[in-house]
Chain A
Amino acid sequence: MFKATRTFPGLLLQYMGLALLALVLNFFLLRLAPGSPLLSLEQAEVVTALSDEQRQRLLSLYGLDKPLWMQFVDYLGRLLRADLGSSLYYNQPVSTVVWPYLERTLLVVGLGFVPAALLGLGLGLFSALNHRKPWERSLLAMLVVLQSLPPFLIALLLLLALAVLWPVFPAVSTLLPGQGPLDRLERLALPVLAYVLWEVGLFYLFARGAFLSVLGEDYLAYARAKGLPESLVIRRHLLRAALPPLVARTALILSASFGGVFFIEAVFSYPGLSSLSLIAIARFDYPLLEGIFLLTLSTILLFNLFADWLVLRLDPRVAEGM
């Protein structure tokens, strides 16, 4: 029988490898991509025609004239000093540019995650306790369908329903300079709602499965047989056994959801990380793009590591390789 080596040092090693791979891909893929940062300067007609000498000076200013591997070494050195470089387009340090956008993305995730998780876990428990009733089948079918829709489609359908056909919310969630999303709650509503609808099905399926598998255990039948009231059976036996692994997996869902938020934001033109990266892509702003992807990737990897560690701690079956 295959023995999984699921230990914390093993996990850490695996994630360090992944992080290094991410760094390398992040750096080289962008450098090998067609286009150049000078191209966008020329297109912007700030500089209509650069002389060869000016071009050279600009390139060496940003260190773009060195061979690729030396640029990579420079890059690693800067990362060690926690310096993400400065954006070519905004002419400001990358961290200064990225921070407000990252904040707004985290706001959507934060506001959407808790209701989605609570609703999903609640519905899952309810569904498991009423297993095999006809309406439970319909609830299951509904949430399976919802869960199968990609995030940008959910966002798009919401946009069509609640901003175009029945315009209760603005279709576009852009913000004026100096405005925070909390000043314009109606612009935050649709992205958050889309996030909740997209995630709730996944939480529900996880929870329903976990509760159902515990409900099938003999010790639950025993607890009922010895005459414990149903509420105590649920609280002491069902929740205590099913919740810890569920909580751990919730962390996994959270980290996976960063990808979906990207699309939801794009549908509503919400000024989060996705709109910033689309700007950076259009301008060939390498340092900015690298900063965005580095932050996104490391956030996701850290969350994954945390979630895997939680699973290990809370669900001994995983550690035993079952």
Chain B
Amino acid sequence: MSKAAVLCALVPLLLLGLGLVLPKAEAVHPPFSPPGAGLLLGADDIGQDVLRVLAHGTVTTLGVGFAAGVLATLIGVLVGGSAGYWPRLEAPLTRLTDLVLAFPRLPLLILLALYLKPNPLNAVVILALFGWPSTARTLRPAVAGLREAGYAQVARTLGASGLYVLFRHVLPQITPLLMVNLLLEIRFALVAQTGLAFLGLTDPSQPSWGLMLFQAFQQNQTFTTSYWLWTVLPPAVALTLTVLALSLPLLGDERRLDPRLRREP
């Protein structure tokens, strides 16, 4: 399964590399030109090279997804780890986690997006604020189960502080769980960002896969001509492959397939 995941990841990673190397797309080609020599993926409605837009969109999409996923995991680790390690914090932090988890996050995300017209930076913050509870919820019992382990007790007896024991002895024990959560958080952020952009709720000057789809859907001839082949298909395929690359590693771990831990939009 992980071989397949690596294979899927190749395409988005290649696009990411291109996005970091290629100059920004400019409206210099005849609008709607089909793919041909020198224009591998044709041109869009304002005459930009679609390949360049796609490559730069990959930088935004993967960048926002990755950054928000990492940030969400960090918050989740802090909240869930503290709740699991310090019995006194357990009740309030668990209640906070449940509260955020119970809130319908999609309508609220749309509201926030409407208010901020997110540029990549505040998109990262918003998405992280919505993503962390699932990680916190998975980590709490795992940490609680380890806080009385022999080596943790020994470390405390030797005078180690709680934070030191938590980060040095407890969290390294659950690295696989952390990795799985990181993948899930990145997937959530990436998908949510693309969804918001697809509704036209992100900064229109920042190309992303979702924004490309949004712009293609604005054109009348997208699906009546073959225009969709080079404007809709490439971002859709890139997104599908990325989601697969982030999901396939989870297949090996059957415990993570239990959706009771999550409430997905």
Interface residues of A (CB under 8 A from B): 2, 4, 14-15, 17-18, 21-22, 25-26, 29-30, 32-34, 140-141, 144-145, 147-150, 152-153, 156-157, 159-160, 163-164, 171, 202, 205-206, 209, 249, 252, 255-256, 258-260, 262-263, 266-267, 274, 277-278, 281, 289, 293, 296-297, 300-301, 304, 308
Q: How far is the CB of B61 from chain A (nearest CB, A)?
A: 13
Do A153 and B257 form a contact, CB below 8 Å, given A29-B112, A32-B115, A300-B104?
Answer: no
- Could you say which of A148, A171, A300 contacts B243, with CB atoms under 8 Å apart? A148
Contact B111 A262 (CB under 8 A): no
B41 at the interface (CB under 8 A from A): no
Interface of chain B, helix or strand or loop or mixed?
helix
In the complex, the 4 A-B pairs of residues with the closest C-beta atoms, listed nearest first: A259-B106, A148-B247, A259-B265, A300-B104
Contact B104 A202 (CB under 8 A): no
B9 at the interface (CB under 8 A from A): no
B213 at the interface (CB under 8 A from A): yes
- Could you say which of B236, B259, B264 contacts A153, with CB atoms under 8 Å apart? B236
Kindly list chain B residues whose C-beta atoms are within 8 Å of the C-beta of A277: 110
Q: A60 CA to B105 CA in the complex, in Å? A: 34
Contact A150 B257 (CB under 8 A): no
Kindly list chain B residues whose C-beta atoms are within 8 Å of the C-beta of A141: 1, 251
Q: Which residue of A lies closest to B244 (CB)?
A: A145
Contact B111 A25 (CB under 8 A): yes
Per-residue A-contact encoding for B91-131, CB less than 8 Å = 1, 0 else: 10010001100111111101110110100000000000000
Q: How far is the CB of A266 from chain B (nearest CB, A)?
A: 6
Contact B103 A263 (CB under 8 A): no
Q: How far is the CB of A17 from chain B (nearest CB, A)?
A: 8
Q: How far is the CB of B209 from chain A (nearest CB, A)?
A: 10
Interface residues of B (CB under 8 A from A): 1, 87, 90-91, 94, 98-99, 102-108, 110-112, 114-115, 117, 144, 187, 191, 194-195, 198-201, 213, 217, 223, 228, 232-233, 236, 239-240, 243-244, 246-248, 250-251, 257-260, 263-265
Contact B114 A281 (CB under 8 A): yes
Contact A209 B258 (CB under 8 A): yes
Q: Which residue of A lies closest to B258 (CB)?
A: A209
- Could you say which of A2, A164, A259 contacts B105, with CB atoms under 8 Å apart? A259
Kindly list chain B residues whose C-beta atoms are within 8 Å of the C-beta of A150: 191, 194-195, 243
22 residue pairs bridging A and B, Cβ less than 8 Å apart: A25-B111, A29-B111, A29-B115, A30-B115, A141-B1, A141-B251, A148-B243, A152-B195, A152-B198, A153-B191, A156-B232, A206-B259, A256-B264, A258-B107, A259-B107, A266-B198, A277-B110, A296-B104, A297-B104, A300-B107, A304-B102, A304-B104
Q: A275 CA to B198 CA in the complex, in Å? A: 13
Q: Which residue of A lies closest to B210 (CB)?
A: A152
Q: A260 CA to B247 CA in the complex, in Å? A: 19
Kindly list chain A residues whose C-beta atoms are within 8 Å of the C-beta of B87: 2
Contact A263 B114 (CB under 8 A): no
Q: Which residue of A lies closest to B103 (CB)?
A: A18
Kindly list chain B residues whose C-beta atoms are within 8 Å of the C-beta of A149: 240, 243
Contact B240 A148 (CB under 8 A): no
Contact B257 A209 (CB under 8 A): yes
Q: A33 CA to B191 CA in the complex, in Å? A: 24
Contact B243 A160 (CB under 8 A): no
Q: How far is the CB of B184 from chain A (nearest CB, A)?
A: 10
Kindly list chain A residues whose C-beta atoms are within 8 Å of the C-beta of B263: 252, 256
Contact A153 B240 (CB under 8 A): yes
Contact B104 A258 (CB under 8 A): yes
Q: Which residue of B lies closest to A305 (CB)?
A: B102
Q: How far is the CB of A309 from chain B (nearest CB, A)?
A: 13
Kindly list chain A residues whose C-beta atoms are within 8 Å of the C-beta of B117: 34
Q: How far is the CB of A172 from chain B (nearest CB, A)?
A: 8
Contact B111 A278 (CB under 8 A): no
Q: A57 CA to B172 CA in the complex, in Å? A: 65
Q: A159 CA to B239 CA in the complex, in Å? A: 16
Q: A209 CA to B254 CA in the complex, in Å? A: 9
Q: A266 CA to B247 CA in the complex, in Å? A: 25
- Could you say which of B99, B107, B250 contacts A293, with CB atoms under 8 Å apart? B107
Q: How far is the CB of B82 from chain A (nearest CB, A)?
A: 13
Contact B240 A266 (CB under 8 A): no
Contact A160 B233 (CB under 8 A): yes
Kindly list chain A residues whose C-beta atoms are within 8 Å of the C-beta of B1: 141
Kindly list chain B residues whose C-beta atoms are within 8 Å of the C-beta of A296: 104, 107
Kindly list chain A residues whose C-beta atoms are within 8 Å of the C-beta of B102: 14-15, 18, 304, 308
Q: A199 CA to B108 CA in the complex, in Å? A: 21
Residue among B91, B108, B112, B217 with most chain A CB within 10 A: B108
Q: How far is the CB of B79 from chain A (nearest CB, A)?
A: 14
- Could you say which of B91, B105, B251, B260 contacts A209, with CB atoms under 8 Å apart? B260
Contact A266 B250 (CB under 8 A): no
Q: A32 CA to B106 CA in the complex, in Å? A: 20
Q: Which residue of B lies closest to A266 (CB)?
A: B199
Q: A33 CA to B116 CA in the complex, in Å? A: 7
Do A160 and B232 form a contact, CB below 8 Å, given A29-B114, A263-B199, A266-B199?
Answer: yes
